[in-house]
Structure 1
């Protein structure tokens, strides 16, 4: 059985989770074209290696971010969205 560690609920069976795509910057709602929105919503980069992805723990409807190796399918780290974005801004550990 494959496990994923939810930041809220701890280690859980992978079947409880739903993948929701890469973490990427959202287009500006005031200026983005329809093409930019379509690319944001429907296209992924399909990187071979480490990526940051949105995941949902379906039983609790809890959203978080996982760092995963797409070559080995190994889940390297999970974190709250707050922790991820603080790290991106440089004010997190």
Structure 2
């Protein structure tokens, strides 16, 4: 079974996640109305063997979008991080089982 180590929730089964898309594809700008550019970005994808970047959504957890580096042959996961740089700074701040969330002291 594939397990992802969510930076917010810890190690979880893949059943909690939903695959979103290829994380290595750069979509055209919304101002680019070229049919060819959008066709290539949406339909012409590589099917790489080996290390690959994917985006996964932690649907049954913290609901964050994660950037996962995975080997498509062995399914070995080498890296899991928040997809957006701002979210990466927040990693590890969510309450995990057995850990109390830090709260501000009452005045």
- Per the shorter chain, which TM-score range? 0.7 to 0.9
Note the residue ranges of structure 2 that are not aligned, 5 or more in a row: 89-107
CA distances 1:13-53 after superposition (whole Å, capped 9, x unpaired): 11111111211212022124223223323443110010111
Instruction: Report the CA distance shift for 1:61/1:38 in structure 2 as closer, same or farther (over 3 A).
Output: farther
TM-score (norm 1): 0.75
CA distances 1:41-92 after superposition (whole Å, capped 9, x unpaired): 3443110010111001111321010000001111111011234xx9xxxxxx
Q: Which has the higher strand share?
A: 1
Instruction: Report the CA distance shift for 1:51/1:2 in structure 2 as closer, same or farther (over 3 A).
Output: closer
Aligned CA RMSD, in angstroms, stands at 2.0
Instruction: Compare CA radii of gyration and give the structure with the larger one.
Output: 2
Output the CA distance in 2 between the equivalents of 1:73 and 1:16: 17
Instruction: Report the CA distance shift for 1:32/1:48 in structure 2 as closer, same or farther (over 3 A).
Output: farther
Moved over 4 A (4+): none
What is residue 3 of structure 1 aligned with on the other side?
Answer: 3
What is residue 58 of structure 2 aligned with on the other side?
Answer: 57
